[in-house]
Structure 1
Amino acid sequence: MTTLGFQAPILVGGAAVELFTRSAISTGDFDVSTARQSAFESALRDLGFIKPSGPGVATRGWMHPDLALGFEVVSSALLGGLADRDRVKMIDLGEDGVATIIAVEDIIADRMGQFASGTAPEMLDQAWRLLVLHSEVDRAYLDRRVREETAGDYGIDDIKETDPA
């Protein structure tokens, strides 16, 4: 997409957690944030991805029939525009170009937001594991982001004080 002059899609969600935890937490799909959904989906189609449909199909994303990989555009603005795009990490893929991934602070905040919703208690464990593995995080930024994602109900201390193991 960058060859078309667009900003690269940003990997978010479970796949970002998997990368940041070195596969200690695994996922089966790739969620991305991009303001150019139609261009992204066109590129997926060109690579052989299909959009499954029909009875019993629960995905809104794109699947590759041979690779067993799935992609879904989950937002047009990174975490609703709350995440600092300047913190996005670039991963050099060599000849294949560059991939972009959400900052670890923002994925931790996202996990805490899901935990705070009351529908995903396992997200607290993910946030804790990410924080343990990435002790170099910008703690002030992380605390602000967790408070934003949880409507002020939680902060960084709520992660540090919790050992789900």
Structure 2
Amino acid sequence: MHGWRAQFENALRVLARISRAMDEAGHRPPILVGGAAVEIYTGGQVTTGDFDLSCGRQDLLEEQLVRFGFQRPTGAGKATRGWVHPELGLGFEVVSDTLLDGMADRAMVRILELDADGDVAIIAPEDIIADRMGQYASGSAPDMLGQARALYGLCEDLDLAYMERRISEETAGGHGLQDLADEA
């Protein structure tokens, strides 16, 4: 499906089932952000090793993670913020309770339908591009410019006015759409 690695698609399907369980219990499901969103929007051309999530109810999400077989890594040298599933091989971590600190428009979130497994909410490509540009502008992640450009080149039907505003917000006015088209 969609050219994704089998491991990645299996993890997406588990996330869809977790999201459906949260929705059926009357709670807003998590939103997939970060590298996994980039992997989806690039059709697997950029890959990740984890799923970062934004969820207002981390406690309820973690209950579902346990219910679906996830465990927290333990022992010396193991990160304790995330969750792993023994069969999936990809980590899941709640990185925020508010999508991009409230800067992202939730109406822009896209829904990926995964048949009988349910749906996964994904940060809008415009917002993940703006986030990558912000990381690049901060100087902490120079490689993020390449990810932002790859996303820009591969995503269709982008709201350019919204994305221009979001890039400006994330980069304190230092960057805009022109930086996505410029050659490195």
> Could you tell me the TM-score, scaled by structure 2's length?
0.85
Residue 118 in 1 paired to residue 152 in 2?
Answer: no
> How far off is 1:135 after superposition?
4.4
> How far off is 1:62 after superposition?
0.2
Residue 22 in 1 paired to residue 43 in 2?
Answer: yes
> For residues 61-118 of structure 1, what are the alpha-carbon distances to aligned partners after superposition, in whole Å with 9 as ceiling and x for unaligned?
0001222121000000000000000010011111111111010000000100111110
Q: Which residue of the partner structure matches residue 173 of structure 2? A: 152
Give the 3-state SS of the residue equivalent to 2:121 in structure 1. strand
Aligned partner letter, 2:179: D
Q: Within 5 A, what are the aligned runs for 1:79-94?
A: 79-94=100-115
Instruction: Mark the CA change 1:135 to 1:94 in structure 2 (over 3 Å): closer, same or farther.
Output: closer
> For residues 34-75 of structure 1, what are the alpha-carbon distances to aligned partners after superposition, in whole Å with 9 as ceiling and x for unaligned?
001010011000111001122111352000122212100000
Aligned partner letter, 2:140: T
> Could you tell me the TM-score, scaled by structure 1's length?
0.95
Instruction: Mark the CA change 1:27 to 1:89 in structure 2 (over 3 Å): closer, same or farther.
Output: same
Give the 3-state SS of the residue equivalent to 2:145 in structure 1. helix
Instruction: Mark the CA change 1:68 to 1:159 in structure 2 (over 3 Å): closer, same or farther.
Output: same
Give the 3-state SS of the residue equivalent to 2:158 in structure 1. coil
Identity of aligned residues (%): 55
> How far off is 1:160 after superposition?
1.4
Instruction: Mark the CA change 1:59 to 1:21 in structure 2 (over 3 Å): closer, same or farther.
Output: farther
> How far off is 1:29 after superposition?
0.5
Aligned partner letter, 1:110: D
CA distance in 2, matches of 1:110, 1:21: 16
Q: Which runs of 4+ in 1 moved over 2 A?
A: none
CA distance in 1, matches of 2:89, 2:155: 30
Aligned partner letter, 2:40: L
Q: Which residue of the partner structure matches residue 66 of structure 1? A: 87
- Unaligned runs of 5+ residues in structure 2 are 1-21
Aligned equivalent of 1:41, options 51, 58, 62: 62
> How far off is 1:22 after superposition?
0.4
Aligned partner letter, 1:2: D
Aligned partner letter, 1:10: I
Moved more, 94-103 or 59-68: 59-68
Give the 3-state SS of the residue equivalent to 1:99 in structure 2. strand
CA distance in 2, matches of 1:57, 1:97: 31
**Aligned residue pair count:** 163
